[in-house]
Amino acid sequence: MEIKDDTKNLISRLKQGNTSALARAITLLEEGELDIPSVDHLIGKINKSVKIGVTGPPGAGKSSLIDWLIKHMRSAGELVGVLATDPSSPFTGGAILGDRIRMQHHFLDDKVFIRSLGSRGAQGGISRITRDASHLMQAAGYRFIILETVGVGQTELDIMNIADTVLVVLVPESGDFIQAMKAGLMEIADIFVVNKSDREGSKQLVNAINFLTETFPSEHGTWQTPVMLTNGLDGTGTPELFQTIQKHIEFMESHRETDLFLRKRMHGLKQLIVEQLSVRVDSVINEAVTDNYREELSDPSVSLYTILNRILRDKDLIKKILK
């Protein structure tokens, strides 16, 4: 695919840290006019960054917590990017909530880039373009990239395939804890955060989580998943949380050759492969299948599995999908 000169120029300016170019590139992603695999050779080797996923039930205070984390990261002199997945408007497909409204303390800081992405019906609690947008942020030189999920509290597990460090944020109400267990959030946490810790029951929730992490085998290798107490209103516990995030980063850096690190990378790679194959299947399959398998499709006595097996043996069709 031939890449236009204006796209080349856009990527060049983005790599120089131009925030307008970054914003424009993410907009093109949302509109389906920029394909990262096609331009990745222009991006080349990417800067070292850390992607931090922040997930948990609605009302857990994720945005206020992120606000404090940005403050600590900036105090350390780091560039910070935030991708916040918001519920989509049913009319426009765009994000309903304003990105800077929720993190207003950093409105004038040109070292902080905050962008809302509409979920557009995506499962997994994150926008379909979250991975690609975070890749662009990384190319633009952002050291910390925070990925906030939509907060549906049910299917937010995809974040673990993108983030290096996953924070699961809960509040002392027992309903949130039970909901998080049912949703599978307990298994994906690198760090648990009990927010709004001034509320009654916060220490009991910490004890309950600690009991679970000690009782069941960990998916995180030798990393012992910590439980942090914070309060997003006044920042209590957030300096310690930032320190713990840095410890996890150091842990992952020192375990690059282990199954833990490779498993995270492999999960992400498999997800990318599935996404790309899905796009290519959509672009090829309608025309090809309608042309070649019209008779079978029109016959309800022919199982869809039978048609599938024929397609999987159709070398010409598979070549079209893979090229």
Task: Please name the residues in contact with 58: beta carbons below 8 A apart, sequence gap of 6 or more.
Answer: 151, 152, 153
Please report whether residue 306 resides in a domain.
yes
Higher pLDDT, 217 or 35: 35
Q: Which domain holds residue 206?
A: 46-255
pLDDT confidence of residue 122: 44
Residue 296: the pLDDT is 86
**Same domain (yes/no): 174, 50:** yes
Res. 301 pLDDT band, cuts 50 70 90: confident
In this structure, of 60-74, 178-192, 226-240, the range with the lowest mean pLDDT score is 178-192
Average pLDDT for the chain:
81
Q: What is the pTM of this model?
A: 0.81
Q: Tell me, yes or no, whether 4 and 112 share the same domain.
A: no
How do residues 6-35 score in pLDDT, each as one tens digit?
Answer: 999 999 999 999 999 999 999 998 888 888
> Alpha-carbon torsion 185, 187, 191, 195, what sign?
positive
The verdict on 238 and 140 lying in the same domain is yes
Q: How far is CA 68 from CA 118, 184, 199, in A?
A: 23, 26, 19
Choose one of 207, 230, 255: the last residue of a domain.
255
Measured distance CA(281)–CA(303) in Å, rounded: 20
H-type alpha helices, the chain: 5-15, 19-30, 36-43, 62-75, 130-139, 174-183, 185-188, 202-215, 238-253, 259-292, 294-297, 304-312, 315-322
Tokens of 154: 């049910």
Q: Both 121 and 37 in a single domain?
A: no
pLDDT at 70: 95
pLDDT at 315: 85
Please measure the distance between the N-terminal and C-terminal CA atoms of the chain and give it in whole angstroms. 11
Residue 179 Cα to chain centre, angstroms? 20
Q: Of the given ranges (58-67, 192-201, 269-278), which has the lowest mean pLDDT?
A: 269-278
Please give the average per-residue pLDDT across 176-200, as a whole number.
79
Question: What mean pLDDT comes out for the span 182-188?
Answer: 70
Percentage helix, strand, coil for the chain under 3-state DSSP, each rounded to 5: 50, 15, 35
Supply the CATH number for residue 199's domain.
3.40.50.300
**3-class state of residue 301 by DSSP:** coil
Q: How confident is the model at residue 182 (pLDDT cuts 50, 70, 90)?
A: low
Task: Indicate if 38 and 74 belong to the same structural domain.
Answer: no
- pLDDT tens across 101-142, in order? 555 667 678 899 999 886 544 444 455 688 889 999 999 999
Whole-number Cα distances in Å, 269 to 54, 82, 123: 21, 22, 18
Distances (CA, A) of 315 to 184, 278, 285, 311, 312: 39, 18, 13, 8, 8
Does the structure show a pLDDT above 50 at 91? no
Q: Three-state SS for 51?
A: strand
